[in-house]
Structure 1
Amino acid sequence: MNMKHFIWLALFLLFSGNAAAKEVAGVDVPDQLTLSQPPLQLNGAGVRSKFFMDLYVGALYLPRPASTTAKVLQQDVAVVSLHILSGLITAEKMRSTIEEGFEDATDGHTQEIAADIQHFIGLFDAEIQVGDTFLLVADKQQGVTAYKNGVASAPIKGEAFRAALLNIWLGQHPAQNSLKQQLLGQ
């Protein structure tokens, strides 16, 4: 883990309990992450649900507010945080859902990033528990670094992968339309 991402994660964890902008499904969501200068701002947060069950709280942090996916993708860094709420999310279901998310995010054109997707999906081999947190730092310069409960993965470089990952939640076929709207602050 490079020092920049370690500092980002440490500050995220430090501020996540203290400076809550709002509470979403019982999870305190901080209004900013002091990961860089200027700090990243909470763009929006919401709940991913299925069949009236809350699965996770998602939040999007950006250097500048953005109300469209295009404006999010233009920014140098975007951070998606996920806080697991349900025991229905297993490692197997997460891997399947993420793989399906990449298919939807790329309109089925995953060939260019297929190896990166498989590497990323491997991050979900260990069982997932209620309360687990994932922090997905999508940085144009550093690549995508995923943290599970503070433990970092090796970064995955490439703009095509970065854009596809963000489009899982923000693209034309997002994981959930209402969550997309909430992340975009609408």
Structure 2
Amino acid sequence: MLSAQAQTKVGDAILPNTIKFNGENLTINGAGLREKLFFDIYAGALYLKQKSNKASVAGLDETMAVRVHVLSGMMSRKKMEAALRNGFVKSTNNKTAPLQDRIEKFIGFVSEEIESGQIFDMVYEKGKGNVLYKNGVEKGFVEGLDFKKALFNIWLGNDPVDKGLKNEMLGN
């Protein structure tokens, strides 16, 4: 019997419905597009162990992931660095000082130029920390549940990068 892995199409991105990190299966919770000036910049998806429509999942001590599938050449390394820095400021209500060294370390993992079609997974692996993968290759990690909450709240917090994308990631 043949079986095709279930997938979700978001814009020009094809996202798997399940992924595995830290030996744990994660299921797509929701996905949507990050758009700017009518251009699709990236497809973003939230992967959880159990589906949830609550933004509070950002604070849970369990493995989860945000996948960013780059769809536009408009997304450069410098733009991603700036977006992450701005996202951390917004997700912490401008209280980045306790996280600043770890924020810079994490952003440093985005060291190569970004091209359309590349996939970044920002994964909290319980027992390890916050890992950045580029095209399936680990680029590095930083520890801390406090960092994880700030990282995931870039998309799920009270002042997310994109409210529509937040709602789509949470399946609302």
Fold shared by both chains (TM-score > 0.5): yes
Deviation (angstroms), 1:36: 6.2
1:169 aligns with 2:122: no
1:53 matched to which residue of 2? 39
Show the 5 A alignment for 1:1-186: 18-35=4-21, 39-74=25-60, 76-186=62-172
Q: Is the 8 A contact 1:102 1:165 kept in 2?
A: yes
Cα deviation, 1:21-77, whole Å, max 9, x if unaligned, reads 321112112111244676211100111011111000111111111101113432511
Provide the rounded CA distance (Å) in 1 between the counterparts of 2:69 and 2:168: 15
Number of equivalenced pairs: 169
* Contact persistence 1:62–1:75 (CA under 8 A): no
Q: Contact 2:21 / 2:125 at 8 angstroms: preserved in 1?
A: no
Instruction: Give the drift of 1:19.
Output: 1.9
1:121 maps to a residue whose letter is: I
SS in 1 for 2:75: coil
Unaligned runs of 5+ in 2: none
- Cα deviation per residue 1:106-156 (whole Å; 9 max; x = unaligned)? 000001100000011112231100111101111232100101122212220
Give 1 or 2: higher strand fraction: 2
For normalisation by structure 2, the TM-score amounts to 0.92
Q: Does the 8 Å contact 1:92/1:125 carry over to 2?
A: no
Higher helix share: 1
Report deviation, 1:175: 0.7
Specify the code of the residue in structure 1 equivalent to 2:110.
Answer: F
Maintained 8 Å contact 1:40/1:63: yes
Q: Which moved more, 1:140-149 or 1:48-57?
A: 140-149
Letter in 2 for 1:91: R
Paired with 2:78 and 2:22, the residues of 1 have a C-alpha distance of: 34
Query: Residues 64 and 125 from structure 1, CA distance in 2 versus in 1: closer, same or farther, beyond 3 angstroms?
Result: same
User: What do residues 81-103 of structure 1 show as CA deviations (whole Å, max 9, x unaligned)?
Assistant: 11100011111111111100000
